[in-house]
Structure 1
Amino acid sequence: MAHDTLDTPALATDRVVMRTEPVQQRSAERIELLLDDAAQLIDEGGIDGVTTSAVAKRSGSSVGVVYRYFPNIQSLLRALAVRNMERYLERVWHGVENSGPEPWSSFDSTLNAFVDMTRHEPGFRALRFGDVIDQRFLNPELSNNQILARKFADQVGETYNFTPDATLVFHMEVAVEIASGLLARAFQLDPQGDEAFIEATRQLCGDYLRTNIPLTVAP
């Protein structure tokens, strides 16, 4: 597969706004608990149900404690969206490591990880990676789907031992956009997901990737 030269910086430099990890373990645990409580509130009342006072009440903390870590609800939701992406990518990498050698054998596990998180991860169905609030929720320069496409391109390049190029990233982003739209529809009315739309996503994205990025296994 021919590769174009990227005119942009290395794919790894996405400059995603990640959470600042506290030095003290106690503070880190408190942040995780606040995010857990916010996720539960999202499941119960949607994103609009997440307020500073509601998070404080649910966590048994004061409003001042919440403000100590999150100056506003936007920053709390962004931290939760980042955690969602981190947890999703961890599942994706685990699926890749345990997939067979056939080209795109890891695609099913990548899709299954998203479906499983939408079904079972608190708050994920409504918030996902923040794209329901803003397509550039995690980074003002890149859409959330562009971030995912670049992460996937990096993974594919590492797995098949080549440097990702702009063409590869484009095709990955097209596949992510297709999947994002279809999976949003799949879970729009059914918290378990409409299987017909899930399988359509599997077929359409799988066919698109295999057609436009014909990976080969090294002998």
Structure 2
Amino acid sequence: MNLKAELSASSLSVRAEPVQQRSAERITSLLDAAAELIDSHGIDGLTTSDVATRSGSSVGVVYRYFPNIQSLLKALAARNLDKFTTRLQETLPEDTSDSFGAMNAAIDAYLELARSEAGFRALRFGDVIDDRFISDEPARSTGLAAMFKDILVTRYGINSTPELEFDIEVLVEVGDALLHRAFRYDQQGDERFITRLRELTQEFIDAHDAA
């Protein structure tokens, strides 16, 4: 199962797919500019003209790839998700009995992005977009929960049950809220909320490891 492709495919909304290195570099430049502006002014303050100015492009170039701000934000969220899944796959424990280590690796991958990736703390994986625009797409948290379930079942031998599916979606929702709160006032993340999430994750693993 290609987790990165499966999670990212529905999130990335780019009007013109880059077929040349030059186009790919331009899209990267536009996304980098948008991420920096989100850090400075927030999501609601993002405009295509500001993205164009920050990236050294024209508004027409922005619209060539992104028909509106929503599609640009979705593309940036998809890039965040791709970086997260790449980092997670690189750091998953080789010990197939270390299911808690796998979930800890997911927390650590999130923390790394929140501390170093421009725009990530505000946008994360894009669920915040759905709060501003009408969307029929499944929540990103649902996709993440499915990914974590697949990892735990296929790689770490956790029994696949309806309870696991529900509990992991609850954990993802709670985890997102705790991590968002951890970084609201502290750019490095308030360790109290991070520690509590690790404790809740351990409780979740203990419950399903014993099942």
Q: TM-score, normalised by structure 1?
A: 0.83
Match of residue 85 from structure 1:
81
| In structure 2, distance between residues paired with 1:24 and 1:37 | 20
Structure 1, residues 134-186: CA drift from partner, whole Å, max 9, x if none?
2698x724211111001111222331368855433222111111111111111
| In structure 2, distance between residues paired with 1:93 and 1:31 | 25
Pair 92,34 (structure 1): closer, same or farther in 2 beyond 3 Å? same
| In structure 2, distance between residues paired with 1:200 and 1:75 | 34
| In structure 2, distance between residues paired with 1:154 and 1:75 | 28
Post-superposition offset of 1:133: 2.9
| In structure 1, distance between residues paired with 2:125 and 2:191 | 22
Q: Which has the higher helix share?
A: 2
Higher mean C-alpha deviation, range 78-87 or range 139-148: 139-148
Match of residue 29 from structure 2:
33
Higher mean C-alpha deviation, range 19-28 or range 37-46: 19-28
| Structure with higher RCO (Cα < 8 A, 6+ apart) | 1
**What letter is aligned with 1:130?**
G
Match of residue 58 from structure 1:
54
Which of 187, 197, 204 does residue 201 from structure 1 map onto? 197
| In structure 2, distance between residues paired with 1:98 and 1:72 | 42
Preserved CA contact (<8 Å) 2:11 2:77:
no
**What letter is aligned with 2:108?**
N
Post-superposition offset of 1:215: 7.0
1:130 aligns with 2:126: yes
Q: Could you say what secondary structure the match of 1:151 adopts? A: helix
Preserved CA contact (<8 Å) 2:77 2:126:
yes
Q: Could you say what secondary structure the match of 1:48 adopts? A: coil
Which of 166, 170, 177 does residue 170 from structure 1 map onto? 166
Post-superposition offset of 1:13: 6.4
**What letter is aligned with 2:188?**
Q
Pair 103,152 (structure 1): closer, same or farther in 2 beyond 3 Å? closer
Pair 50,136 (structure 1): closer, same or farther in 2 beyond 3 Å? closer
1:18 aligns with 2:23: no
**What letter is aligned with 1:18?**
L
Pair 65,103 (structure 1): closer, same or farther in 2 beyond 3 Å? closer
Match of residue 206 from structure 2:
210
Task: Within 5 Å, give how 1:68-107 maps onto structure 2.
Answer: 68-98=64-94, 101-107=97-103
Pair 107,29 (structure 1): closer, same or farther in 2 beyond 3 Å? same
**What letter is aligned with 2:209?**
P
Q: Percent identity?
A: 48
Q: Could you say what secondary structure the match of 1:49 adopts? A: coil
| In structure 1, distance between residues paired with 2:11 and 2:190 | 32
Q: Give the aligned length.
A: 204
| In structure 2, distance between residues paired with 1:136 and 1:36 | 21
Pair 13,107 (structure 1): closer, same or farther in 2 beyond 3 Å? closer
Preserved CA contact (<8 Å) 2:99 2:205:
no
Task: Within 5 Å, give how 1:136-175 maps onto structure 2.
Answer: 140-160=136-156, 164=160, 166-175=162-171
